[in-house]
Amino acid sequence: MTEPARSPGETRIVDLRSDTVTRPGRAMRAAMAAAEVGDDVYGEDPTVNRLEHECASLLGMEAALFVPSGTQSNLAALLAHCDRGDEYVAGQDAHTYRFEGGGAAAFGGIQPQPLPFQDDGTLDLDEVAAAIKPDDYHFAKTKLVCLENTQGGKPIGPAYFATVQTFAHEHGLRVHLDGARLFNAVVALGCSARDFGQYCDSVSVCLSKGLGAPAGSVLCGRSGFVDAARRWRKVLGGGMRQAGVLAAAGLYALTHNIERLAEDHRRANILVEGLRGIGLPAEQHTNMVFVRGRDKDAMIAHMKSRNVRVSGSRWVVHMDVTDDDIRHVIDIARALS
Ligand SMILES: *Cc1c(COP(=O)(O)O)cnc(C)c1O
């Protein structure tokens, strides 16, 4: 059961800016306090080792690496897959290209080749094929395709990843999946994380989004790849010591908070229906609702004046949002329609 996220007396603020705003509840904190720990840079933190083992097995992959953030997870993956002068193909709006400070170029000399996402969040493989550079020293070496799931909240089914794997084998490319919200796709589509892991060379999952842990991501792949990424994690400053206190939150999240993502999807559906009902055009993808055609700043200001935080047209439902909160949000959004 969801625990109260606010202390008594605290002003009730509904925060829909992102699913990163969740706060660990009592049971997760108890798991953190009870964690057995050791020095993870020496590989001696039993809780981190357990989290890595469980994640690898959930994704059906050989090995896994616990990292402080999703950004570092993707960067370590890019650095492990690519050398200087190599290239990765990614969506124009992909997190790995647009929202990670150009880290792959800044730290790895790795060039991005952005392509537009299609409406369903996939990359068109004909466009990817056309973007692959010939083997000629005028060009960067195209090494990797980076995909995202969910993409803008849209869940992409395993069949697409099967096609991508075949394509990648034909063209000598590897496939990295930024699965920051992969479990939202798993729950929405009723499949398993392995259904995706089997088609990818590496997968990064966030524990700190809808799963509700305070920090941490896990990067999964073959053991040689994870060894290389572990080296890069240290170089990037991500080697933590008694990180078991954080890994314990991640283990708690994997055990208790995957299935409950369906609750977020259900509430996002009530929200989108409610907004449409009051004449506001909106779309829902898993735990995200996109409000269309309204002035962003006016919307942020109005909602804020009634204790609802949004950062623009994307309103994100997460474990600290209740049915009452959703009713309140719809009620005050009336003034926007
Ligand atoms: C949040 C997110 C990340 C990385 O997140 P951090 O904030 O660095 O943990 C990566 N990819 C996607 C798609 C994300 O939404």
Walk along the chain (337 residues) in steps of 10 and give the mean pLDDT of each run.
55 95 97 98 98 98 98 98 98 96 97 98 98 96 98 98 98 98 98 98 98 98 98 98 98 98 98 97 98 91 96 96 97 92
Cβ atoms of residues 225 and 80 within 8 Å: yes
- Could you tell me the distance, in angstroms and rounded to a whole number, from the CA of residue 205 to the centre of ligand 1? 9
Cβ atoms of residues 23 and 334 within 8 Å: no
CA–CA gap between residue 14 and residue 304 (Å, rounded): 9
The most distant pair of C-alpha atoms in the chain lies apart, rounded to whole Å, by 66
Q: Give how far Cα 83 sits from Cα of 6, 70, 88, 157, Å.
A: 47, 21, 11, 30
The 8-class DSSP code of residue 156 comes to: -
Ligand 1 pocket mutation, candidates 21, 66, 71, criterion most atoms within 8 A of CB: 71
How many C-beta neighbours within 10 Å does residue 76 have?
30
Q: Which residue, judged by its Cα, is nearest atom 4 of ligand 1?
A: 70
Ligand 1 pocket mutation, candidates 206, 219, 316, criterion most atoms within 8 A of CB: 206
Ramachandran quadrant class, 61 (left: phi over 0; alpha: psi -120 to 50; beta: rest): beta
Torsion of CA 275, 324, 190, 127, to 10 degrees: 40
**Predicted local confidence at residue 2, as pLDDT:** 47
Which amino acid, residue 233?
A: R
Torsion of CA 247, 252, 253, 256, to 10 degrees: 170
**Predicted local confidence at residue 157, as pLDDT:** 98
Q: Which atom of ligand 1 is nearest to the CA of 69?
A: 9
**Predicted local confidence at residue 337, as pLDDT:** 84
Cis check: omega of the bond before 150, within 30 degrees of 0: yes
Which amino acid, residue 216?
A: G
Q: Quick one: tokens of 27?
A: 């049971």
Q: Which residue, judged by its Cα, is nearest atom 14 of ligand 1?
A: 180
**Predicted local confidence at residue 11, as pLDDT:** 82
Q: What are phi and psi of 63, to 5 degrees?
A: -150, 170
Closest-CA residue to 172 (of 129, 115, 202): 129
Residue pLDDT, tens place only, 274-283: 999 999 999 9
Q: Which residue has the tokens 């792959």?
A: 104
Helix, strand, coil share (%) of the chain residues, nearest 5:
45, 15, 40
Ligand 1 site: residues with CB under 6 angstroms?
69-71, 74, 95, 148, 178, 180, 206, 208-209, 217
- Could you tell me the distance, in angstroms and rounded to a whole number, from the CA of residue 95 to the centre of ligand 1? 7
